[in-house]
A and B are shown apart, each in its own frame.
Chain A
Amino acid sequence: MKKKLKAVASVSLVTALMLTSAACGNSNDGGNTKDGNTAENNAQTTNAGANNSGNANSTNDKAANTAAPAEKPDPFSKMSEMVEFTTGISLSADTKPPAGESFENNDVEKWFEQNLNVKPKMAWSTSDQNFAFEQKISLLIAANNIPDVLSISVDPNGLSILKKLIKADMIEDLTQVYNDYGSQNLKDSIGLGGPDALKSVSSDGKLYAIPSIADVETAIPVIWTRKDWLDQVGLPEPQTLDDVETTLKAFKDKFGAGVLPSQQNIFGADTASFDFVFGAYNSYPGQWIRTADGSVGYGSVQPEMKGALERLAKWYKDGLVAKDFIMNDSNKAVEAIAKGKAGVFEGAWWATWYPLPDSVKNDHNANWQATVLKGVDGIAHAKGYGAVRSFVVVKKGFKHPEAIMKMLNYAQEANTKKLDWYNKLTIDEGAKYLNAKMPLLPVSVSAKDPHEITVRYKAIMDVVNGKTKMEDADPETKVQATSILNYNKAADKFADMGLWSLANQFAVGAAGLVKNPVQQTLPAFIGSTDLMQKKKASLDDLEKKTFLEIITGKKSIDEFDKFVEQWNSMGGKDITAEVNGIVGQ
């Protein structure tokens, strides 16, 4: 049975290759080998609004002169015949498509149909909560029934799913397609994610997926403090862990709010975790990092962990951490914030969306400010996510992977706001899809600048402070800057909480990110290995149990060394060797 499958697969692969190469030979693109300027060609499609005047990009309008087959394929050219593909999508509960429209039928999709000859068909959809999407994919892999194209998120198990797909020989090798058809803009943006970006979705030197690059700054833990309370107790904004301690004690005496909202997920880059404490000691639990000797090691077993755990144990003993934090998740932990029983907490830079609105609604005086703490060595440290957030795979045997690649090129143009017709539909005031909260692009990819937030913050503030003119700003900056200006003008600051969240997201949250320059330690390895699949679960249990016992004082800090030994002997050592083998390739 297996053999048969393999035979079929290889035959189909060969035919696919023949077809694509044939297509390359016949593709009469006008030999336009502009690299960096492709965007210019495509951004010319002005006023392709709802009526969709169907300006194909200029490349296609060119007379089809016979190009030499050796000519480079054009990343933006129209497919010679209609390519239909199936895909699965996830929808949020508040998706509201305009009347009569859907994922398969909307203006963006029509544009793609007319100008690129591609047509998506929704094989299925799931909710975007609770990993329903990932569950569905796992099931379909088992049933060998995946759709032609899938975009899979790395979090929580995306990379092991990718491994499975590669092992089962269910997806196309995209190396050639990416090299030939990937647009320069997309390649440059993926390049920003560092060499690991492509490596983490490759196997044996073959590229099996097109990655989406995440911004890495969202992982930075931000300390939010109530400025109105600080003023009352006469303290400045905390800068170090010691300051946090002083602040908590002062808040306890004055407001009965001396407990740091905390939860069982102690280093999950989550609201109310302890990431900021670990970061301050330059320790990165749960993350593979480059250690002092240049090899890759597991953050949780590095000696830097000790200081952080010791500090947390002390805080727990002094009652600065909720006694029952082991029972709490982040939803429970944030209750204290809404209740007015907490004045300091760790959140993300976007905390103005969650959990702050409820706090502000309950108490209009609550003035939350954000900052990044300096570490014990005086430098702000933070962990990072892997540069890859999600990736797109193409089912084995799909005849036109290059069509998918072209769609991704356009998606990247759309992400970087270079498609005027797309901006009109989705961003500008009164845009048709502004609040639809539905996936519009047939296949999406988002290769962003990893430091997008700080870059955009500076651009927004320049507009707000009048350094740049509003009309010169890019569409997204315009939206944000306008919201800040409107908020500053508003008589009642809390009438429209949506505006409050949007304006303060950058004005306060992102401002906190740039207060102290942060040294981020990005993972040296993301993903999962064969040994990890077997042993990581029990190692993680041991790790979690040990850390919680040390923090709650059941074990002394000296037990940490024993834990490291145990971790190594239980398979950690082998996993580390395996990871080094992979990274060293």
Chain B
Amino acid sequence: MGIRLTKSDILTNTIIYSILTMLALITLVPLLNILSISFSNSAKATAGLVTVYPLGFSWTTYTTIFKDHAILTAVGVSVQRVVLALVIDMVLVILASYPLSRTSKVFRSRGIYMWIVIGTMLFGPSLVPMFFTVKDTHMLGTIWALVIPGAVGQFNIILMMNYFRNIPSELEESASIDGAGPWRRLLQIYVPLSLPIMATIALFIVVGNWNAYFDGLIYSINTDDYPLQTYIQQLVVNYDTTIRDVDQVRSLLAVSNRSLTAAKLVITMIPILVVYPFMQKYFISGIMLGSVKE
């Protein structure tokens, strides 16, 4: 590099880098801790001795998990849910955002629709009416109960709508003059130009669906329907140790195994950790450079 750094530059850089390093550590240490616990001897983990490297290294927790039929079923449910949600949510969000991104001149009743979207965002349904709706539409106990109720993300619509609005209208006008209809304008101009926001929203959808646990708890008919996070939540949240029945004590022995719980947590993190680097390349600007001269 031909640029000479002055003393103040060096100082600034040092401060910035140390802050960034701190932030990185704050997020990394808990991850490493969970990872280490999952490879450690459970008794050492319970004693709180494990820091960021495993003690008494073993693979046993992982071999136990892959023999566990329940967690594998749960992974299956979660994967199915994420794939379905990604496709359905994405299509719905794009279809809703495009018309809403037009001006009121073009789309007369835009205001009404906009209020409907914002209104449902502000006043969500409470649990029981929601449960009724899902029950009466016969979705209980099916994968659709997890996918459909949250399929239209209002926040995602607003994000995408705003992005569409930032795309210069000259582009659309010129396409219209060349004879492109609305479908073609959407699919061949807007969608390709909006890859960054699509990637962002796709990530929101994937993470949101992967991490949701509460709906799995409510809409499942039996424990085989639990998605992964619901299954994990049942294990990880503080188990009740005020046991009153001797017959229940042995199950306490199973859930108090911290290494096993940590290993299950690791397994839930993997997909998100894997997906993220591939999403990274879309988070770049400059897509529209040179398309319009103003």
Contact = CB atoms under 8 A, between A and B. Distances in A.
Contacts of A357: 43, 253
B108 to A, nearest CB: 40
Given A124-B222, A129-B239, A218-B244, A358 B135 contact: no
A269 B252 contact: no
Interface string B27-60: 0000000000000011110111100000000000
A155 B244 contact: yes
B235 A93 contact: yes
Interface in B231-249: 231, 233-235, 237-246, 249
Contacts of B250: 353, 437
Given A92-B254, A339-B48, A355-B256, A139 B43 contact: no
Interface string B252-270: 1111100000000000000
Contacts of B249: 350, 353-354
Nearest to B135: A143
Contacts of B163: none
Interface string A338-376: 111000000010100111011101100000000000000
Contacts of B46: 334-335, 338, 355, 358
Contact of A218 (B41, B70, B222, B246): B246
Interface in B218-233: 218, 220-223, 226, 230-231, 233
Interface string A203-224: 0000000000011001100000
A354 B241 contact: yes
A123 B140 CA distance: 12
A125 B221 CA distance: 6
B128 interface: yes
Contact of B128 (A139, A265, A353): A139
B275 to A, nearest CB: 27
Contacts of B285: none
A362 B253 contact: no
Contact of A358 (B43, B128, B222, B254): B43
Given A354-B253, A437-B251, A139 B127 contact: yes
Contacts of A124: 141, 220-222
A125 B245 contact: no
Interface residues of B, number: 45
Contact of B244 (A91, A92, A214, A335): A214
A361 B43 contact: yes
Contacts, number: 132
Interface string B198-221: 000000000000000000011011
A320 B285 CA distance: 60
Contacts of B230: 127
A127 B234 contact: yes
A218 B245 contact: yes
B217 A135 contact: yes
B132 interface: yes
A268 interface: yes
Contacts of B48: 335, 338-339
A142 interface: yes
A334 B128 CA distance: 39
B131 interface: yes
A331 B246 contact: no
A123 to B, nearest CB: 8
A268 B244 CA distance: 11
B11 to A, nearest CB: 38
A355 B255 CA distance: 12
Contacts of A127: 223, 226, 230-231, 234
Nearest to A122: B222
B240 A129 contact: yes
A339 B47 contact: yes
A331 B256 contact: yes
B237 A362 contact: no
A129 B42 contact: no
A369 B241 CA distance: 20
Given A127-B234, A357-B43, 19 more contacts: A93-B70, A93-B231, A94-B254, A124-B221, A124-B222, A125-B221, A127-B231, A129-B234, A135-B217, A136-B218, A142-B127, A214-B244, A269-B242, A331-B241, A335-B46, A338-B47, A339-B48, A353-B249, A453-B246
Closest 3 CB pairs of A and B: A338-B47, A361-B43, A339-B47
Interface of B: 41-44, 46-49, 70, 127-128, 131-132, 135, 141, 217-218, 220-223, 226, 230-231, 233-235, 237-246, 249-256
27 contacts: A93-B235, A93-B251, A125-B222, A125-B223, A126-B223, A127-B226, A128-B251, A129-B235, A129-B240, A130-B237, A130-B240, A135-B217, A139-B218, A145-B135, A155-B242, A218-B244, A271-B241, A329-B238, A330-B241, A331-B256, A335-B46, A335-B48, A338-B46, A357-B43, A361-B42, A361-B43, A385-B244
